[in-house]
Chain A
Amino acid sequence: MFVTLPEFEYHRPQTVSAALDLLDQYGGGATVMAGGTDLLVDMRYRIRVPEHVIDLKGIEELGKLTFQPGEGLVIGATVTLNRLLEYDAVQSRFGALHDALEDMCDDQVRNRATLAGNLCTASPAADCAPPLLVFDAKVEVASPAGRRMVDLPDLFTGVKETSLGTDEMVTAVHVPEPPPDVQSRYLKGKRSSEDCAIVGVAALVARWDDPRDRVVRLAYSSVAPTPVRVYDVERIFRQDKPWGDLVEEAVSAALNRVSPISDVRSSKEYRVHLIDVLTRLALRELLGGRR
């Protein structure tokens, strides 16, 4: 049933330091808002009732989106999913992220929703998280004490929980430039076009032809309290063994790392099955005839 939004005070600071002052002043009573596509829904259902909403979209610095060879991608906290989707470097170098963006929400929601908002909601199903985990992304966090870089896995602490303090905010997401021959995919198992993932798998492969130097990375959404990267697969794929054995070991490493549950979208058993199928499919698509 429809209810109006709870009452709150709206703030639209022009600078990061003004936003931090507001966070400092109102403590836990304030929430930052980027696109509002998660926050406003939560507020309507009274899952969250902040007294102060700090809209970040007036802060020019947070709208920057750049790619520099050597430095990689820098994605400001108010950059929308559609701006990223239309950005050439994302399509040409960050395939798994492009896959995820193409299949997220819908065109209208992508005109509002941001990448930083997707990460800060910290849903186990956040579609941008697995691609950013395989790309070794870091999150730039600002607080009254200054700025620090947080490795993405350390941002997620639980279901919809982050390590951010009440006086902190994300200013940008940094994604280092991947190795030159990198290929990556994100595959999402889901029920209908707008639904969130039952299981999402991001896979990245580089330098495949030299077993000792191979880079293979896997990360998942919707299979644990937080999005997870399975670090063991790196070591597994550096062994000089037949393809079938490597994939078998990789799938069991993934299953060891995750803790899928049954919920409205899928049973636990079906999730386990999808992890197996989607992992094999993603690697096969990336490697084609080379395996």
Chain B
Amino acid sequence: MTQRIELVINDRCRTVEVASNTTLLEMLRDQLKFKSVKPGCWRGDCGLCLVLIDGRPIKSCLVLAQELDDREVVTVEGLLDNGNITRLHQSFIEKGALQCGYCTPAFLLASEALLRRNPHPTRERVCESMNGILCRCTGYKQIVDAILAASE
């Protein structure tokens, strides 16, 4: 059984035909080819599939696509400012906050959401907000440093 849903993705209205058992992760990555939305564990543990729904960071493997009718989704592509990278991206580059880059879209989205709600978070708060996302390369310190630098 499929259902037609209308939603806004990165400021653009889209109409998508989705099956009842399609997750938001599968819809974004496989149907709409947003390959920045990464699969990892498919069970809420790794955080790599993170997107913003109505501004809040959420793991898209645990959301049904059909729930998104009339809602707003932002993927990492939506963080660009007129096609240019922002201060947050620049900070990730300067602090060496990525190696393979597989986790980077998730960390950028989660930190964007955090900084919008809390423009000057403490180091502890940054770690708390990021502890649902796994990175197998950096050891996290550079990621936390980058987020704190972007918040100065």
B57 touches A108 (CB 8 A): yes
A8 neighbours in B (Cβ, 8 Å) = 20-21
A10 touches B64 (CB 8 A): yes
B21 neighbours in A (Cβ, 8 Å) = 4-8
Q: Is the interface of A mostly helix, strand, loop or mixed?
A: loop
Least distance between B68 CB and chain A CB atoms (Å): 12
Using a CB–CB distance below 8 Å, which chain B residues touch chain A?
A: 1, 3, 19-23, 26, 39, 42-45, 47, 50, 56-59, 61-64, 66-67, 110, 128-133
Least distance between B137 CB and chain A CB atoms (Å): 19
Given contacts A8-B21, A9-B1, A37-B62, contact A107 B57 (CB under 8 A): yes
CB contact list, A41-57 vs B, under 8 A: 41, 44-45, 53, 55, 57
A36 touches B63 (CB 8 A): yes
A40 to B56, CA, bound (A): 20
Which residue on chain A has the smallest CB distance to residue B53? A111
Using a CB–CB distance below 8 Å, which chain A residues touch chain B?
A: 2, 4-10, 12, 35-37, 40-41, 44-45, 53, 55, 57, 82, 105-109, 111-112, 193-194
A105 touches B132 (CB 8 A): yes
Least distance between B128 CB and chain A CB atoms (Å): 7
A108 touches B59 (CB 8 A): yes
Best-surrounded residue of A2, A40, A53, A105 (most CB of chain B within 10 A): A40
B67 touches A108 (CB 8 A): no
B67 touches A2 (CB 8 A): no
